[in-house]
């Protein structure tokens, strides 16, 4: 039996010239966990996702392990095939395809579902996120901001990753919609998908994360239960004079 964490980084570092955007970051995520990552703007959160997935670049040094197996030398499509999927802050769906076609495409090309069953997989994923049937034939570009989040989550479910890296999914949502997003994240976990969540909205992180790590200037400054971490003086200091951690 493999007791290794599902996802682990060891001393992960990404340099841009003299800047260490990700600086010696080690963390591990257990299967089934929702693992939150916070940090002020420019603290290295998205770069961390970039080097884990190899899109668009690899780490300068350090390791990324999936179930104990190194993946940091793999090519991006091999990392994704191994089961690591990420979302982007910017909408990444095919704007002119319908919601259904987008999710169908994820089922076929990401999960390798046969075209005979991909339709059922796509319908199930859209049911999971409760996108009304009347909206499923609309082009993704015609959907509301929250509906596009539903689509993003449905596509992730249909892709059947082992671990889903969510990059600021609450961006652009109202408070009631953020509560809806919490429910969607729980649905994803209920499908057996482990989640790493980068987020500025503290209410969402506190609601769904079992563990919270905070980065500042590329380094881990706190890691523990969300309740412990938000009271940590280093975290409070890192956020002083920057964008609020909470809405």
Ligand X SMILES: Nc1ncnc2c1ncn2[C@@H]1O[C@H](COP(=O)(O)OP(=O)(O)OP(=O)(O)O)[C@@H](O)[C@H]1O
Task: For the CB of residue 120, give the shortest distance to ligand X in the complex, in Å.
Answer: 37
CB within 8 A of 47, min separation 6: which ones? 14, 21, 22, 218
- Can you spell out the DSSP letters for 183-195? HHHHHHHHTT-EE
Find the shortest distance in angstroms from Cβ 179 to ligand X.
22
List the one residue from 36, 39, 62, 226 that touches ligand X (CB under 6 A).
39
Task: Decide if residue 42 touches ligand X (CB under 6 A).
Answer: yes
Q: b vs e for 101-133, b when ≥16 Cβ sit within 10 Å of the residue's Cβ?
A: bbbbbbbbebbebeeeebeebbbbbbebbebee
Using rule CB under 6 A, residue 47 touches ligand X: yes
Could you say which of 21, 193, 213, 220 contacts ligand X (CB under 6 A)?
A: 21
Contact status: 46 vs ligand X (CB under 6 A): yes
Residue whose CB is less far from ligand X, 129 or 173: 173
| Choice between 39 and 83, CB closer to ligand X | 39
Residue 44 CB, shortest distance to ligand X, in Å, is: 4
Q: Name the DSSP letter for residue 168.
A: S
Nearest to 226 by CA among 91, 35, 96, 73: 35
Q: How far is the CB of 151 from ligand X (least distance, A)?
A: 22
Instruction: For residue 182, state whether it binds ligand X (rule: CB under 6 A).
Output: no
Q: Which residues, 6+ apart, have CB-to-CB distance to 10 below 8 Å?
A: 26, 62, 63, 65
Least separation in angstroms between residue 4's CB and ligand X is 26
Under the criterion CB under 6 A, does residue 86 sit at the interface with ligand X?
no
| 43, 102, 106, 150: residue in contact with ligand X (rule CB under 6 A) | 43
Structure-token match 């991006």, residue found: 76
Both tokens of 190, joined, read 């209920």
Q: Which residues of this protein are in contact with ligand X, per CB under 6 A?
A: 16, 19, 21, 39, 41-47
């Amino acid at each position: 039996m493999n007791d290794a964490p599902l996802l682990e980084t060891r001393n992960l570092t990404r340099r841009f010239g003299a800047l260490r955007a990700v600086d010696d970051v080690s963390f591990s995520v257990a299967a089934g966990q929702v693992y939150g990552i916070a940090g002020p703007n420019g603290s290295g959160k998205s770069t961390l996702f970039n080097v884990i997935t190899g899109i668009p670049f690899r780490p300068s040094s350090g390791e990324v392990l999936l179930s104990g197996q190194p993946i940091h030398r793999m090519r991006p499509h091999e990392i994704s095939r191994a089961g690591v999927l990420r979302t982007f802050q910017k909408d990444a769906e095919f704007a002119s395809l319908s919601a259904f076609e987008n999710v169908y495409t994820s089922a076929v090309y990401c999960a390798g579902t046969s075209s005979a069953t991909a339709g059922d997989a796509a319908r199930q994923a859209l049911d999971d996120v409760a996108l009304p049937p009347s909206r499923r034939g609309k082009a993704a570009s015609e959907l509301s901001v929250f509906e596009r989040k539903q689509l993003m989550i449905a596509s992730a479910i249909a892709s059947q990753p082992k671990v889903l890296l969510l990059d600021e999914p609450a961006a652009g949502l109202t408070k009631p919609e953020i509560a809806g997003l919490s429910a969607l994240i729980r649905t994803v976990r209920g499908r057996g998908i482990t989640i790493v969540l980068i987020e500025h909205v503290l209410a969402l992180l506190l609601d769904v994360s079992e563990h919270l790590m905070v980065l500042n200037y590329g380094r881990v400054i706190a890691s523990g239960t969300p309740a412990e971490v938000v009271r940590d003086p280093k975290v409070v200091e890192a956020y002083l004079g920057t964008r609020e951690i909470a809405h």
